[in-house]
Amino acid sequence: MEELDLSGGAMRRPHDRDLSTYLDRLEIGDPGEPSLDALRALHRAHVERVPYETLEVQLGRRITLDPRESIDRILRGRGGYCVQLNGAFATLLTALGYDVTWHRAGVQAGRRAPASGVSFAPHLALTVRMEGQPWLVDIGLGDGLLEPLPLREGRYRQGPFEFRLSASSVEPGGWRFDHDPRGSIAGLDMETEPASAVDFVEWHPYLCTSPESRLVRAAVVLRRDGAGADALVGCMLRRVSGAGVSEVELGSRGEWFEALSSVFGLHLGDVNGRDREMLWEKVRGAHEAWQRRKGAVAVS
């Protein structure tokens, strides 16, 4: 069986039955031969049904970037962060016959923050070559792309969001993706050179354990659909749609876990009662600290 190299270690490709179950999780039967229409359907199904989530990090669990582990988590009704989601999706697409390339990208978290290069804690983005050109594929942004974008300069509308692709000003020869102003990030800059798993593995411990890591600082769950996007950051649940932006505070443990299930489709059968209580207390404590900081800024 062909093996993939990951940080100096070898790992087997997922079994065919796991990939078949993966398609079942996406509610897709036989996707057929590789085609742009099929790629769009796979991408859309993934972002609608498998959310971006940082709950495993918040729970303090040991997780890896092995696509087999990420796929297994997805099959259990969970999600993951960008490298886990795009790594799993790349594995599925490759098994289906698509020409997939990994790329390092740097995320610009907010519009006041400087554009970030790819050298620090890179994001994993993908390109897939179809119909003679590369397409940007990224299911790991949470509230980003609904479907792939042709990798050429321009503005693109998907639902209520408008995106822009242009030449990067911080990565020579690279690409800049600008998110809609209502999105969870400002954008990202992507290298055109192919990346390998080791480019991301070396940053994984930092992302999962450092107090400075965006995965550690807050519990975040994101998902896209054709009408907009949902975002849960701490206890604040936000919906962006064509009708505008709505936001509500989830003030109880029951409301919070109900939103994980009903809004994001997460199945937390692998999180026992004690861990649920610990997770809620952690999320609620961080939310209350955020409210105090927000109040102090308002007073000053």
Q: What is the pLDDT of residues 43-75, one digit of tens each?
A: 999 999 999 999 999 999 999 999 999 999 999
Q: Which two tokens stand for residue 189?
A: 């800059």
What is the average pLDDT score of the chain?
Answer: 91
Cβ–Cβ < 8 Å for 50, 209 = no
One fold for 3-204 and 215-299: yes
> What's the topology of domain 215-299?
Arylamine N-acetyltransferase fold (3.30.2140)
pLDDT number for residue 5: 40
> What's the topology of domain 3-204?
Arylamine N-acetyltransferase fold (3.30.2140)
- Report the alpha-carbon distance of residue 192 to residue 174 in Å, rounded: 5
Per residue in 250-298, pLDDT tens? 999 999 999 999 999 999 999 999 999 999 999 999 999 988 887 776 5
Look at the block and give the residue holding tokens 């790594």.
87
Sequence-distant (6+) residues with CB within 8 A of 154 are: 164, 165
Look at the block and give the residue holding tokens 């990030």.
185
Cβ–Cβ < 8 Å for 250, 230 = no
Q: Identify the CA nearest to 97 among candidates 192, 19, 195, 6.
A: 19
Cβ–Cβ < 8 Å for 54, 215 = yes
- Measured from the Cβ of residue 20, the count of other Cβ atoms closer than 10 Å reads 13
Assign 122 a pLDDT band (cuts: 50, 70, 90).
confident
Per residue in 127-137, pLDDT tens? 999 999 999 99
Q: Which residues pair with 237 in a beta bridge?
A: 232, 248
Which DSSP helix (H) or strand (E) runs through 290? helix 273-299
Q: Could you state, in order of their start, the residue ranges of all structural domains in the chain?
A: 3-204, 215-299
DSSP code at position 218: -
